[in-house]
Structure 1
Amino acid sequence: MKTHNILKIGLAFLLYSSSIGLLWAQQMMFADSSRLGRPFSKDPHVVRFEGRYLMYFSVPPIPDQPGGWGIAVAESDDLVHWERIGEIAATEEYEKNGFCAPGALVKDGKVHLFYQTYGNGSKDAICHAYSSDGIHFTRNTSNPIFAPPANDWSNGRAIDAEVYAFKAHYYLYFATRDPKGEIQMQGVAMADADTDFGRGEWTMAKDASILKPELDWEGKCVEGASIIKRNGQLYMFYAGSYNNAPQQVGVAVSKDGVNWKRVFDQPFLPNGKPGEWNSSESGHPHIFDDKETGKSYLFYQGNDDNGHTWWLSNVEVGWKKGKPYLKE
């Protein structure tokens, strides 16, 4: 009888251990349904702050209400399970038509958020705010802080901000469009290391596109740059083609943060196969360098219904001989 009970306890423990193992191996699938009543979250960006992970993401306009796109916040302790903990309310005149596409960094004990205005066509620009708790933000009084000059290669729009410290400067990567508003491409501005991120601090690092669509799968769009440093070089994970075209993720590399070349000619992270959750796209990447674990995770958005819903997920990225690869 005792032996029988021991076997039962052992079996229960094995089953419990197996269930925990499955939980650990579970793929992240997160979406906020608070605004539309269906899963709809885009543009993920993650930081580690005060002992937990915070993810900033775009949420859509609320039907039949004033305002536009917004930014919400979720937290996690394992990068798999996320809980929505707040939303950043529009407080300024320049945010009234909407704001979205957050990019964040932690500096001097504060979360610095870079985001775009939305709904203003070629007048959309990059804004900055900062927070001591990661949820409640104070706006930079000089907002919007950056947009490129309208000229022969750019229509003056700036969206999808990514700010990264490199070689005694901060580089602000952004997407803009050609003067006709048809081709989306990457540009970059820079500021000194002691910047307060305000307007007037940024100058164009190159008065031309640093990466524009050239490959068939990139269509007419290269956007959503996200940067990571490895072995003294910068790697850019970017979105190629417009949403659901399908949008897929590519990778480029740079020694100086300004001049870039592609690492792969094919998508690094393609859209899923028919029947998979991301068959419409795998897009808008964020490469997160987790200093706590030494691991890299690629966050991205996807769906299987041409944008009726949007989910956020991630996959671990490994590095071998100066190139990233997707871990199984």
Structure 2
Amino acid sequence: MESGNYFAPVTEPVVHFDDTLDTLAAPLIKAPRRSYDLVALPGDFPDPTIAKINGSYWASATSAEWGGVFPLFKSDDLVNWEPAGSVFPNGLPAWAGSNAWAPEIFEENGRSYIYYTARRKGGVLSVAVASADRPEGPYRDHGPLVSQRAGSIDGCPVYDEKGRLWLVWKEDGNSCFRPTPIWAQRLNAERTALVGKKVELFRNDAAWEGSLVEGSSFIRHGGYLYMFYAGNACCGKHCTYATGVARAKTLLGPWEKCPLNPILTDNSVWKCAGHGTPIEANGRYFLFHHAYSVMSQEFVGRQGIISEFTWGADGWPAFEGRSVQAPAPNVLALHVEDSFDGAVLGDEWQWPIIAPRPSTELRGGQLLVPTSAARLGTLLARRTTAATYRAATTLDATALQPGTYGGIAAVGDPYNGLALVAGANGLLEAWRVQAGKLQRLAQVEIEPSASLTLRLECWGGQRYRFAYSTDNATWQPLETEGFTVNGTWLPPWDRGVRVAVLAQGAAGAEVAFSHFAIVNQR
């Protein structure tokens, strides 16, 4: 950005994969078999799900404490994915308060369903369902299906050998130091309630599974029903997650676990691979799952990956090298930029679901964000895709009202962030907000500017530095103690760090932003 081209887009050719090319190759020159092993959803997209509906592939993933809840993506080739809204664009349904986890997409008779996990307000984790006439929605919520005392998560619908639909889920026993049974129970004709009695399929009884098994999903092959599932610790710096598989002739068992479990585990590029959905496409088989990049780990979060598997002579699925074959993301090709010149704010922007969706407005090439007095204020965030990056936003500092701040922040959640903010009358401050408590790290006065750009730089997800510019060419660092700030503590156990614009102050004011960008660095 010192050279004035910080916001210049990074481009690279888009490669489209087409299986028909194999069949069109010259008789004596066979085209190489194309690899679909790739990062389909770079950034923080845990517990991904996939389904083929009306000729297209649809995907979603855990959104945790960020809205819109359960982002939707569409693809025609498993390679190029486009945002397509979210299941709950205005936040969780009224009965739920947090933990928007593990959506599972399902289609039957032209109707789309999302089976998902959320926590009852003041209560336990529960599996619920929403439905729509189209996979893109709008979705109508039908509320919880099961809420066991220890919690119920990771619901997945599956047909049994007689064509009857069941819900399979995990009892969250590890939350209270108990085993984690995988249960099955019939769904009613409307697919919105459970009927009959629940039946245990199996539980965590293998050493590699540790304290849990979870994330069940299914595929049929060779007369067996196969369940892909995850075991051990899912998240954070010390995760031990991996993928296993079990099979049975009938849904209610008996279930046989693969003797080679875990069948998908760590390598030098990816770690803690798990919680995925298998799918068959053009005679090939894939698991859409998550894993941490070794280069960015918890600072970016669990990324959505497609891994191909084959069927062995023993009838078990196998992944090459028992590990993720997707190459490391090309971080320089993954960047974010928004000039706020569209009619609506893009689906990629997120907001904390503990607060109502911000009533933002796009007008005259500016994003107008209403202020909030809570903690870091109103936050609108984008996922990061690398642990080393520069991020910047441009705002009109001359229009800030007294007691109002606008700026940019690296955010773990609404209670934890590092921010560079501008206030009225040319006040510039660096903030550290940890556990909801604000500490001012530095403060200077500058000449107010209608085009003030605030920048944060991050190295390895851990060290941060702040700077500002009034001409987008020359930069002045904000001198915090030691010049860099430690941000190791930022990511929550189950989420990556996001970069947000913020508007802090008493309700009734707004901050005008004209540009935002994140550019990854090596």
TM-score, scaled to structure 2 = 0.50
Shift of 1:299: 1.2
Supply the AA of the counterpart residue of 1:196.
E
Q: Which whole-Å deviations, capped at 9, do the CAs of 1:81-114 have from their partners, x for residues lacking one?
A: 2122212222521233242211121101121110
Provide the C-alpha distance between the structure 1 equivalents of 2:122 and 2:164, rounded to a whole number of angstroms: 30
Amino acid at match of 2:144: P
Report the alpha carbon displacement of residue 128 of structure 1 after superposing the two structures with TM. Answer: 1.1
Check if 1:323 corresponds to 2:316: yes
Q: Give the distance between the partners of 2:283 and 2:33, measured in 1 at CA.
A: 21
**Deviation, structure 1 residue 210:** 2.5
Which amino acid counterpart does residue 283 of structure 2 have in structure 1? G
- Give the match's secondary structure for 2:95: helix
Alpha-carbon contact 1:140-1:198 (below 8 Å) kept: no
CA RMSD of aligned residues (A): 2.9
Which residue, 287, 293, 306 being the options, matches 1:298? 287
Shift of 1:204: 3.2
Matched AA of 1:49: I
Q: 2:267 aligns with which of 260, 265, 272?
A: 272
Structure 1 residue 147: Cα displacement:
3.1
For 2:86, the equivalent position in structure 1 comes to: 87
Judge conservation of contact 2:166–2:185 (CA < 8 Å) in 1.
yes
Do 1:98 and 1:119's aligned partners in 2 also have CA atoms closer than 8 Å? no
Amino acid at match of 1:249: T
Equivalent in the alignment of 1:47? 51
| 1:29 correspondence with 2:24 | no
Report SS of the residue matched to 1:48.
strand
User: Equivalent residue for 2:365?
Assistant: none
Judge which range, 81-90 or 180-189, deviates more: 180-189
Q: Kindly indicate whether residue 307 of structure 2 is the aligned counterpart of residue 312 of structure 1.
A: no
Correspondence 1:252 to 2:246: yes
Query: What secondary structure sits across from 2:103 in the alignment?
Result: strand
For residues 189-208 of structure 1, what are the structure 2 equivalents within 5 Å? 189-191=184-186, 195-199=189-193, 201-206=194-199
* SS of match in other structure, 1:217: helix
CA offsets 1:283-313 (integer angstroms, 9 cap, x no match): 11211133xx132211110112442222111
Q: Number of residues paired by the alignment?
A: 283
Q: Deviations over 1:15-74 (max 9, x none)?
A: x99xx9899536321336xxxxxx211111111112211111112424xxxxx7831011
In 2, are the aligned partners of 1:129 and 1:137 still within 8 Å (CA)? no
- Could you tell me how far 1:219 is from its partner in structure 2? 1.1
1:248 Cα deviation from its structure 2 partner: 0.3
Q: Mind listing any 5+ residue stretches in structure 2 that lack a counterpart?
A: 1-15, 22-30, 326-522
Match of 2:398 in 1: none
Aligned with 1:210: secondary structure? Answer: strand
1:164 deviates by: 0.6
Check the 8 A contact 2:117/2:154 in 1, yes or no: yes
Pairs within 5 Å for 1:99-248? 99-118=100-119, 123-141=124-142, 143-148=143-148, 150=149, 155=150, 157-166=151-160, 167-178=162-173, 181-183=176-178, 185-191=180-186, 195-199=189-193, 201-206=194-199, 209-244=200-235, 245-248=239-242
**Is the CA contact (8 Å cut-off) linking 2:165 and 2:186 kept in structure 1?**
yes
Q: Is the 8 A contact 2:182 2:214 kept in 1?
A: no
- Report if the CA contact (8 A) 1:74-1:83 is conserved: yes
Unaligned runs of 5+ residues in structure 1 are 1-15, 33-38, 63-67
Which runs of 4 or more aligned residues in structure 1 lie more than 4 Å from their structure 2 counterparts after TM superposition?
20-24, 119-122
Give the superposition deviation at 1:146.
2.2
Change in CA separation of 1:85 and 1:69 when aligned onto 2, cut-off 3 Å: closer
Q: Does the CA contact (< 8 Å) of 1:248 and 1:267 recur in 2?
A: yes
TM (norm. structure 1) is: 0.77
What is the aligned-residue identity percentage?
Answer: 20
CA drift at 1:269: 0.5
Secondary structure in 1 matching 2:202: coil
Shift of 1:225: 0.6
Structure-2 separation of matches of 1:183 and 1:306: 28
CA contact (8 A) 1:188 1:204 kept: no
**Higher strand residue share:** 2
Query: Measured at CA, do residues 180 and 48 of structure 1 come closer, stay the same or move farther in structure 2, by a change above 3 Å?
Result: closer
In the alignment, which residue of structure 2 is the partner of 1:285? 276
Residue 316 of structure 1 aligns to which amino acid in structure 2? E
Paired position in structure 1 for 2:508: none
Deviation sequence 1:198-243 (CA, Å, 0-9, x none): 23x333332xx43222222211110101111123321111001021
Out of 247-256 and 78-87, give the one that drifted further.
78-87
Structure ranking higher in helix proportion:
1
Q: Which amino acid in the other structure matches residue 241 of structure 2?
A: Q
Answer yes or no: is the 8 Å Cα contact 1:236–1:251 preserved in 2: yes
